[in-house]
């Protein structure tokens, strides 16, 4: 009897899914290589100050934010692979050219192009993953796919720093471009993931089904981005030598939950999982900001990690629940805009509060944003039929 029950579970890990995950890993590894190299290149080779570093780094997110909805529409009308291949090629070409410029302005222009590549590749890959996942295992699929992102952004910076020291910046740019091209080659083997008859959609640029999930994702990632930006300094405030073990533990919790607990969002349901996630995130940030001790920081970090681990897959599930297959790209393009907004606004708002009232107050302010997301999710649940 157990054999019969098991056989009814739709298959998730197919050759296409493995190729998509591998392409994602190669692409996110390329992104990870740039994380430490770009700021060091601006401040070193280009002799730029803090403002120049911020400008060059932010240019990437700016173009990605603006173009994600267009990437979603393209993937709906012409296929996910087209978006991924085009995005990967733009990313690789622009990064390979970093070493050819000798000014902050020129590098910023290239970073804008890199952001264009990010918008199209990321949205195309995320939408392809939603195509390949059975509806009842979509949360598991998002959780597993996100591991390629975390792995690439965890390993990439380590390799990037090592390459800068051993071979110089030009080598980093070429290796990152090569990794992005590998992602393109793997994408060529994936093929079109859209359901038969779903092509040619004239989907909306900003999809209404994605607005509320996008706000929930904004509330969740807002606090996380502030945490990642300021916990290294807050740890020093509390007398710790650094925050390395906290960041490692935070990432470890996310990876464990999204691998060993990949099916949790499917079993609990998207709406309930989102509420639990935002509750954990709110509590975690409140504990860090209110219990201003090392134990408070450790406990709050762990609770926040649980919320982040559960939240993103559940929010993506929520966005896709009522979206036609032909409009999934528009939905993913709209929702993913929240990532750029939160990563930009979270640290800025945290910094403003911290400057006025201290870093502990910054965590409390971030908790208010997560709490607002929880209130929105709870109110939506009460209105649901």
- Give 335-368 pLDDT, tens digit per residue: 888 888 888 788 888 888 888 898 899 999 999 9
Whether 134 shows a pLDDT value over 90: the answer reads no
pTM: 0.81
The pLDDT of 41-66, averaged and rounded, is: 83
Of 100 and 252, more confident: 100
- Mean pLDDT value across the chain: 87
Distance in angstroms (rounded) separating the CA atoms of residues 195 and 83:
17
Question: Using DSSP, how many helices (H) and how many strands (E) does the chain show?
Answer: 14, 0
pLDDT exceeds cutoff 60 at 1: no
Beta-carbon contacts of 126 under 8 Å, excluding residues fewer than 6 positions away, are: 145, 316, 332, 336
Going by pLDDT thresholds of 50, 70 and 90, the confidence category of residue 196 is: low
For position 5, what pLDDT does the model report?
44
Give me the percent of the chain exceeding a pLDDT of 90: 42
Q: How many CB atoms lie within 10 A of CB 112?
A: 18
| Residues 201/327, Cβ–Cβ less than 8 Å | yes
Enumerate domains of the chain plus CATH numbers: 14-188 (1.20.1250.20), 208-383 (1.20.1250.20)
Per-residue pLDDT reduced to its tens digit, 199-257: 555 556 677 878 899 999 999 999 888 888 788 788 888 998 877 788 788 888 988 89
Does residue 295 surpass a pLDDT of 90?
yes
Q: Which two tokens stand for residue 15?
A: 């050759």
């Amino acid at each position: 009897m157990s054999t019969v029950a098991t056989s009814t579970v739709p298959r998730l890990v197919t050759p296409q899914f493995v190729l998509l995950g591998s392409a994602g890993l190669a692409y996110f590894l390329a992104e990870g290589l740039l994380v430490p190299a770009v700021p060091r290149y601006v401040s070193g080779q280009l002799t730029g100050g803090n403002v120049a570093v911020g400008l060059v780094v932010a240019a990437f997110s700016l173009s990605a934010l603006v173009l994600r909805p267009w990437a979603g529409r393209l993937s709906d009308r012409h296929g996910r692979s087209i978006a991924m291949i085009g995005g990967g090629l733009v990313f690789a070409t622009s990064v390979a050219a970093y070493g050819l410029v000798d000014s902050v302005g020129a590098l910023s222009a290239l970073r804008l192009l890199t952001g264009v590549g990010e918008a199209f590749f990321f949205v195309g890959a995320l939408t392809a993953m939603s195509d390949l996942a059975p509806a009842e295992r979509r949360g598991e699929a998002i959780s597993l796919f996100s591991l390629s992102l975390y792995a690439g952004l965890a390993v990439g910076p380590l390799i990037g720093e090592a390459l800068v020291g051993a071979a110089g910046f030009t080598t980093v740019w070429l290796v990152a471009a090569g990794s992005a091209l590998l992602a393109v080659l793997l994408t060529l083997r994936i093929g079109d993931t859209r359901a038969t008859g779903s092509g040619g959609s004239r989907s909306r640029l900003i999809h209404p089904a994605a607005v509320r999930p996008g706000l929930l994702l904004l509330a969740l990632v807002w606090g996380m981005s502030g945490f990642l930006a300021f916990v290294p300094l807050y740890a020093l405030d509390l007398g710790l030598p650094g925050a390395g073990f906290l960041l490692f533990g935070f990432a470890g919790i996310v990876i464990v939950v999204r691998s060993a607990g990949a099916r949790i969002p499917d079993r609990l349901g998207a709406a309930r999982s989102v509420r639990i996630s935002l509750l954990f995130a709110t509590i975690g940030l409140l504990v860090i900001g209110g219990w201003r001790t090392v134990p408070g920081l450790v406990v709050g970090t762990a609770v926040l990690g649980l919320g982040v681990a559960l939240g993103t897959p559940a929010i993506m599930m929520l966005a896709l629940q009522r979206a036609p297959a032909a409009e999934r790209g528009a939905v993913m393009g709209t929702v993913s805009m929240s990532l750029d907004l939160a990563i930009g606004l979270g640290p800025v708002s945290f910094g403003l509060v911290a400057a006025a009232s201290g870093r502990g107050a910054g965590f409390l302010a971030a908790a208010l944003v997560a709490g607002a997301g929880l209130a929105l999710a709870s109110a939506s649940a009460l209105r649901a039929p």
